[in-house]
Amino acid sequence: MHTSLVLTVIGPDRPGLVEAIAAVIARHGANWEESRMAQLGGQFAGMLRVTAPEETQDALEDALAGLGSVGLKVTVARAAGAQAQVPKLLHLNLVGQDRPGIVREIAEALARRGVSIESLETRCVSASMSGEMLFEAEAVLAVPPALAADELRTALEALANELMVDLDLAEPAGA
């Protein structure tokens, strides 16, 4: 029997960190299933899901904690079981003049409607003509089956007008 584990990893960025994590996982007979990793502000940050045989799980967790010797802090959590209902996935793209609170206001509107953020990438970029800072966000949203996409779109478009941002909500390609 295998257990699914979700790991969060953070530490000063340097070459070889992913290899160090992968070596520990492989040494304990675990399988690297999925991950998202990035360098942010000089720090390596990652999330990953692995499956591990139950009999090696404790040793794997101890070995992952040992990665502190290379500057990595690893937190391990057991993954939740499968969801009862499969949500509909929608892609959200947002662009607007940067200002504090954009993520909070969008996240609040989504949470009120029971929408979960599956993934979120944000960045600030310089506008090509004006040089002002633009905020860009790309997200994958898990929408409850009972919530109509048009209802969500209408609510988000009203909020986009208040925030003065451009927003696009669409089904993923190939859906």
Report yes or no: 118 and 109 within 8 Å, Cβ to Cβ.
no
The SS3 of residue 144 is: coil
Q: What is the CA radius of gyration of the chain?
A: 20
Domains and CATH numbers, the chain: 2-78 (3.30.70.260), 88-170 (3.30.70.260)
57: pLDDT strictly greater than 60: yes
- This prediction has a pTM of 0.77
pLDDT band per the 50, 70, 90 thresholds, residue 85: low
Report yes or no: 3 and 78 within 8 Å, Cβ to Cβ.
yes
